[in-house]
Amino acid sequence: MDLTARAAELADERRPFVRATVVRAQQPTSTRSGDRAIVLPDGTIEGFVGGHCAQNSVRQAAIDALETGESVLLRILPDDGPGYPDVPGAQVVVNPCLSGGAMEIFLEPRLPAPIVRVVGATPVADAVARVLGLLDVDVCRGTAADGGEAAVIVASLGGDEPTVIREALAGGAGYVGLVASSKRGAAILDELELDAVERAVVHTPAGLAIGARTPGEIAVAIAAELVRAIRVEQLGSAPTTVAAERDAALTVIDPVCGMTVTVDTETPHLQVDGEDYWFCAPGCRRAYEKERARCS
Instruction: Determine the 3-state secondary structure of 76 from DSSP.
Output: strand
Cβ within 8 Å of residue 24, ≥6 positions away: 33, 102, 103, 104
Q: Are residues 120 and 216 in the same domain?
A: yes
Note whether 130 and 169 are same-domain residues.
Answer: yes
pTM of the predicted model as reported, rounded to 2 decimal places: 0.70
Please give the chain's pLDDT, 296 residues, in tens: 799 999 999 999 999 999 999 998 887 778 899 999 999 998 899 999 988 778 888 988 999 999 888 999 999 888 765 556 666 778 888 776 666 678 899 999 999 999 999 999 999 999 999 999 999 999 999 877 676 899 999 999 999 999 999 999 999 999 999 999 999 999 999 999 999 999 999 999 999 999 999 999 999 999 999 999 998 988 876 444 455 555 556 678 878 777 677 777 778 888 887 788 887 777 777 877 877 777 76
Same domain assignment for residues 158 and 227: yes
Q: Do 178 and 104 belong to one domain?
A: no
> Structural domain of residue 80, as residue ranges?
10-110
Q: Give 173-210 pLDDT, tens digit per residue.
A: 999 999 999 999 999 999 999 999 999 999 999 999 99
Beta-sheet strand order (sheet of 102-110) = 45-47, 36-39, 17-26, 102-110, 72-78, 90-95
Q: Does 185 share its domain with 219?
A: yes
Q: What is the DSSP letter of 133?
A: T
Spatial separation of the C-alpha atoms in residues 33 and 31, rounded to whole Å = 7
Q: Is residue 78 part of a domain?
A: yes
Neighbours of 263 (CB within 10 A): 18
Q: Which of 92, 110, 128 is the last residue of a domain?
A: 110
33: left (phi over 0), alpha (psi -120 to 50) or beta: beta
Q: Are 49 and 105 in contact (CB under 8 A)?
A: yes
Decide if 128 contacts 155 (C-beta within 8 A): yes
Q: What 3-state class would DSSP assign to 51?
A: coil
Q: Of 110, 137, 154, which residue constitutes the final position of a domain?
A: 110
* Residue 38 one-letter amino acid: I
Strand, helix or coil for residue 275: strand
Q: Is 220 among the domain residues?
A: yes
Q: What is the pLDDT of residues 229-274, one digit of tens each?
A: 998 988 876 444 455 555 556 678 878 777 677 777 778 888 887 7
Instruction: Tell me whether residue 99 is in a domain.
Output: yes
